[in-house]
Structures are given as structure tokens and as C-alpha cells.
Amino acid sequence: MNEPTLSVIMPVYNGERYLQEAIDSVLKQNFTDFELIAIDDGSTDGSNEILKGQSDPRIRVLSNGINKGISFTRNRGLDEAKGEFLAWMDCDDLIAPDRFKKQLAFFKTHPQVGICGTWLTRFDERKSEVSKSPLEHEAIKAMLLFKPAIWNATAMYRLNWIKEANLSFDPRLAVAEDFDFYWEACRKLPVANLPESLYYYRDSDSSIMKRFDGAEERSFSIHKIIYEKSLRELGITPTEDQLRIHRSIGSTYLFQTYRSYKEAFEWLVYLQEKNKIQKIYDSDALSEILGSIFFFLSKKSSQVGLPVFFYYLKELKKFYPADLYQTTKLLIRCLIKYRRF
């Protein structure tokens, strides 16, 4: 039997409610030369029974026996995959029927790219919203200074490139293991994102990030492992306070005071100055990303009111020119002192 072109890896942990939908979404792809490897990570609900009930010969079901965590499961998927390419799929999400076909076509026309992600649509019972990421390698690399820039569930790899680069998921990380993976990957091979949403991420209570809501200290302890790598690369030995400022910029944390808002902006300027010395990031790409991050943190400070808006107008030129739509949006938020992200 010939090896499949594509291996699709689906980690499964207590995903009973939406698991069959996720499996069906993969099986309905208009590209069919794939294997689906579903790895049960010690589920305690009915997930294992659903997996055992699958009859499609392209599905391979594996079990960790006990819960060993997402990094272990992802690394097992990397080891078990037999395809030339590898794609990820979460057990409670959906994908567009042409997702695999479009990403494989991108690889064919971009032979220099080793990892290709896409935009994604977040949805629940009430609404949906497209989350966009930078498209080009240098911008993705710069965004990863602050937060994820490739959504792991959307990613497809040239598998042999990943193995040759000795890339794997850090078992210390209960969350943000993908953030760390792509931080490392950007330093070893070219990456890109398609400017189209081909993945539908379900905002459900079973998602890993939802399980970490309300556990900020634990989440911070994990994220700072990644932040410390980024900052040391820029020649910065960060203090605990600096790491917390950096965390507050990249997270959905709301700024409560004008002072904390200005402090965060000054940290962005400091990073830009350090990059001029260390030359880790392309200067134009970093400037663009810093401009978008400055808008992001200004949005998160809009409850402070008009001082934030005027400060944004005054300082944005340090990164890039103001965008009329964004500026108007921020003005409205600051006028009404909007208190939600």
C-alpha cells in the first residue's frame, strides 16, 4: 500500500460532543489522499467509543492510555505520520471542504515554504468572527515576539523539513506549546499564511485555552518561558516586571490606567531600539507589527478615555502612519470609554 500524501493528526481529549462532526469534516474534503490519525489522550467521556466506531479505512485510532498532555500527543502525531505533508485538526472544530486542496496547491507554487497556515473563523451559537494573521515570513516572525501568528489547527507542514529541523513541541508547556513551536520554526525554515479562512474554530468550554481562563498566574508562568527566549535574543535580560508588561501587551488583558498604557507603549519603543542593534527582525516588518500591536493595546485601554486616543495619534508615527478606519474606531471607543476588548 502506498503511503498517503497527507497525514491529518487529531488529538482527542474529552471531545465527545463534537468529535463526530470534526471527523466528518475531514472525511468530506475534496482532496482524498490522506490518513486521519486520531490520538485519544486518556479521555474519560465517550470519545474512545466514537473513535472505535469509525469504519473509514483512512482512519487510524491510537491511544495514550492515560492523559499525557497536548505536547506529548502532538509529538506522537509527528512520529506516527506517514505522509509527505502533515496537517492538524482539533476534535471539536470544522474545516472548509477545500482546505487541504488549497494548502497543498500553495506548497506546489511556493516550494521554499515549509509551513503554511490559514486564517480562521471563531464561532459559537451566537456569532462568528474571522481572525487574521500576518501572511509573510518576516511579519509572522515579528508577531511571534508578542503572540501566536500561525494558528496551529490551520497549519500544514512539509513533514520531512520539520524532522530535519528537529522541531517538536515542548513538553513543559500545557498551553502555548504551538506558540513556542512556531517561534522556533521561524528561525529554521520559511513559513506563511494563506489570506483566507479555511478553518472554523469552535469557542467551546472544552478548548484548552478556555480551561486556562481564570488561571492567569499559571498561564503567565508558561508564556514567560517563550517571552524570555524572545527578549534574550534581543539582548534583554528581562526582570519579572518587564515580563509582566510584555505579557499584558500580547494578551487580552485590559489596561486600567493611563500610566500602565504609556508604560506598555514605551516598552514597544524599547524593543524597536534593541532590534536596531541586534537586527533579529526585519525593520520594516517589525515596524508594521509594532504599529498593529500599539493599536491593539490602545483598544484595550479605551476605558481610560480620550487621553489614550490623543496619545495614540501623537506616537503612532514612531511605527507607521495612522489608518483612518482604525483611528475612527479608537476614537469612538475612547469617547464612550468602552470597557470590553
DSSP state of 234: T
Q: Which of 200, 196, 250 is nearest to 222 (CA)?
A: 250
> What is the pLDDT at residue 274?
98
Distance separating alpha carbons of residues 324 and 316, to the nearest angstrom = 12
142: its cell numbers? 515579528
Give the H or E element holding residue 269. helix 258-278
> What is the pLDDT at residue 209?
47
What phi, psi does 121 have (nearest 5°)?
A: -110, 120
**Would you give per-residue pLDDT tens digits along the chain (341 residues)?**
589 999 999 999 999 999 999 999 999 999 999 999 999 999 999 999 999 999 999 999 999 999 999 999 999 999 999 999 999 999 999 999 999 999 999 999 999 999 999 999 999 888 899 999 999 999 999 999 999 999 999 999 999 999 999 999 999 888 899 999 999 999 999 999 999 999 999 986 555 444 545 577 888 888 999 999 999 999 999 999 999 999 999 998 899 999 999 999 999 999 999 999 999 999 999 999 999 999 999 999 999 999 999 999 999 999 988 889 999 999 999 999 999 87
> What is the pLDDT at residue 207?
52
Find out whether 138 and 214 touch, Cβ atoms under 8 Å. no
Tell which phi-psi region holds residue 176, choosing left (phi > 0), alpha (psi between -120 and 50) or beta: left
Distance separating alpha carbons of residues 230 and 233, to the nearest angstrom = 5
What does the DSSP assignment read for 20-66?
HHHHHHHHT-S---EEEEEEE-S-SSSHHHHHHT---TTEEEEE-SS
SS3 state of residue 174: coil
Distance separating alpha carbons of residues 294 and 261, to the nearest angstrom = 10
> What is the pLDDT at residue 140?
98
> What is the pLDDT at residue 205?
58
Distance separating alpha carbons of residues 197 and 26, to the nearest angstrom = 16
Find out whether 26 and 89 touch, Cβ atoms under 8 Å. yes
Handedness of CA 229, 150, 67, 86 (dihedral sign): negative
Domains (range + CATH), the chain: 6-210 (3.90.550.10), 214-335 (no CATH)
Burial 43-60 (b: 16+ CB within 10 A, else e): beeebbebbeebeeeebb
Distance separating alpha carbons of residues 153 and 193, to the nearest angstrom = 12
> What is the pLDDT at residue 145?
97
Find out whether 271 and 224 touch, Cβ atoms under 8 Å. no
Tell which phi-psi region holds residue 288, choosing left (phi > 0), alpha (psi between -120 and 50) or beta: alpha
Distance separating alpha carbons of residues 35 and 59, to the nearest angstrom = 6
Distance separating alpha carbons of residues 9 and 19, to the nearest angstrom = 13
Put simply, whether the predicted model's pTM sits higher than 0.75 gets the answer yes
> What is the pLDDT at residue 212?
46
> What is the pLDDT at residue 1?
55
Residues linked to residue 197 through DSSP beta bridges, in sequence order: 119
Distance separating alpha carbons of residues 142 and 275, to the nearest angstrom = 11
SS3 state of residue 171: coil
What phi, psi does 60 have (nearest 5°)?
A: -120, 125
